[in-house]
Structure 1
Amino acid sequence: MLAIVRGKVPAADLRTVRPLAEEGIAAIEVSLTTADALTVIRQARAGLGPDALLGAGTVRSATDAARAVDAGASYLVTPALVDGLETYGIPVLMGALTPTEIETALARGADAIKLFPGILGGPGYLRALRDPFPEVPFVPVGGVGAQAARDYLDRGAVAVGVGSPLVGDAADGGDLDRLCARAAMFRKVAAGETP
């Protein structure tokens, strides 16, 4: 499970990160479209410690990557094909949708493919991609709710990226108790349990 935090209020974004980690969401991405995202990443890194899987999302250039790594990101997530990210020595989930884009992302050093937007093809599309790309780690993102998350994982995804169905309004100052309840439910779904 990869939680995607994207909001308009830096303090709310930051207060969203810790409950996700405490609820067992192993990987958390702070989108660079988040207000003051680099400060959020920096402060979240300080709060979660050096070993937490805290990444930067919506990385669209090598400059974005350099700033995110400097802020403490331990992995990078792109929405599309981006050059020059392999030099940072951390994992890159590169956005791709078509077989040609997948091949290009792998040639550019992607460690995993962010299948984006996942909602376009759904779990059936991932199943079709597994035949020509059996060794590629796929992380579907975009339109992934609880049932789709389970379906993607059942069809060979190594993880799923979930934004608003998981985070809800927490990143904009919403209810943290509801965030924790959603996180617990998604964690059970990811583990194959009935929520």
Structure 2
Amino acid sequence: MIWAVEMLTVAKSSVDVNTGNFLMTLTRLVVNVLTSILLFKVGRRPLAHTSAVGVAVVSMVIAIYTSTHKEPSLPPQILFMSYMAFASVGYYVLPFLMASEIYPLQVRGILAGITVFITGLLISGSIKLTPTLLDNLGLTYTMVIFGISSLLGVVYLYFVLPETKGLTLQEIEEYYNKRRPTLVSQRQL
């Protein structure tokens, strides 16, 4: 979001960049509301995987499109709004939500704080690094890096992210303390 105007300019969006930035912000707001509803209906893993795969695919499509099309057009706006939508489904929401779920009660506050701190550092780092990447590599290769990073995120999420929907905090803690063999709620059994 911070570099939306610059990215839309470089991508040659035919939509006014300030309007485009507003549309991206509106997209994020709408998708965040929908994600809040989906969190009650769908598990965390499907949302995380949808987010990671969607961001990877859209990033690669942006890279291909911007390398082959040089005239101002509408697709860059639509692609960046899609990027924002997919990122808002999981990447922007789930780390904060799950920080309160997966840590044991005794250390939940401190570890959730550390998680938010590290997330803030990573976000700040990417915000600071993006203009350097754009200046030195161009938008195409910057988006390839974003896409590859998101693909690595898909692999990480597949192997590491637990499904905690429908579980109590006690059930999650028992699983991590090896007192419960699976992450399945006793209420569901």
User: Which of the five TM-score ranges fits, normalised by the shorter chain?
Assistant: under 0.3
TM-score after normalising by structure 1: 0.26
Structure scoring higher RCO (CA < 8 A, sep ≥ 6) equals 2
If each structure's helix is expressed as a fraction of its own residues, which one has the higher value?
A: 2
TM-score relative to the length of structure 2: 0.27
Larger radius of gyration: 2
